[in-house]
Structure 1
């Protein structure tokens, strides 16, 4: 049982996942600081609000109660997500794809060689027709 656990833990993908979680947690703090310290104040200037949480509109219902519809938090979350996605792509994904392409070029394997060319619909229909003709005779 311990041997199986040891093999599971020492697999490359488990360690990669653990590293990704740790880096992601640390990276989230950086992105949140950028969004809260730079982007949110710029947006708050446009909407004349001290915080994005206060951006929205108030509606009075039929009882006379005030109901606040705040889209500022949603806008902040979208900006936060886009900031994380952009940085993750340009810091992690793009360089790793470039490194893989260079390694494949050194090995003499191109991306076109890795993926087999699939037949077109017309070629598949011709093959089906030929197989049906063979079955009939």
Structure 2
């Protein structure tokens, strides 16, 4: 029973993380954008491309074999090998428009907002923390001085690790 409580508790913690909720919101918003973009492609882009030929991009195709034919009643391919490059073009246009909408309406404003928030933060003018090498050098010098029985003087100017031995 404790195993199931642990699993259920872990699942609850997973669901309550901010990332999962943000991901769910992103999926819903992405689905809404997809519908809008599909409408734009079908209502605006396809007619513009259709000025060159068919308004339905799915009608653009090429035949790889010498004979290609369709059933006149159903429109299904009877023989031959078709490359349906019109549907690929339509999907690529849909993707590019979706990516542009997401970038210009979501990513770009969010990046600008983050830059403004970073600019508002106060600048830390405190001394820089010692590097790992500087700390290790001080520890080495302090250990050598302790072994020799003399007063320890750290080699760096920070003096954070120096061990002083009192004279008795």
For residues 42-100 of structure 1, the C-alpha deviation after alignment (integer angstroms, 9 at most, x for no partner) is 11211x11311111334553799554333111111111110001000001110110111
Q: 1:90 pairs with 79, 92, 104, which one?
A: 104
The structure carrying a bigger helix percent of its residues is 1
Cα RMSD for the two superposed structures? 2.2
Indicate the residue corresponding to 1:21 in structure 2: 27
Higher relative contact order (CA 8 A, sep 6+): 1
TM-score by length of 2: 0.58
Q: Pairwise mapping of residues 36-115 of structure 1 onto structure 2 (< 5 A)?
A: 36-46=42-52, 48-58=53-63, 60-61=65-66, 66-108=80-122
Is 1:12 the counterpart of 2:26 in the alignment? no
Partners of 2:81 and 2:109 in 1: CA distance: 48
Distance 1:39 1:63, change over 3 A: closer
Distance 1:59 1:15, change over 3 A: closer
Partners of 2:119 and 2:65 in 1: CA distance: 65
Deviates more, 1:84-93 or 1:49-58: 49-58
Runs of 4+ displaced beyond 6 Å: none
Flag the structure with larger Rg. Answer: 2
Q: Is the partner of 2:54 in helix, strand or coil?
A: coil
Gaps of 5+ in 2: 1-5, 70-78, 124-168
Retained in 1: the 8 A contact 2:67–2:80?
A: no
Q: Is the partner of 2:51 in helix, strand or coil?
A: helix
- The aligned length equals 108
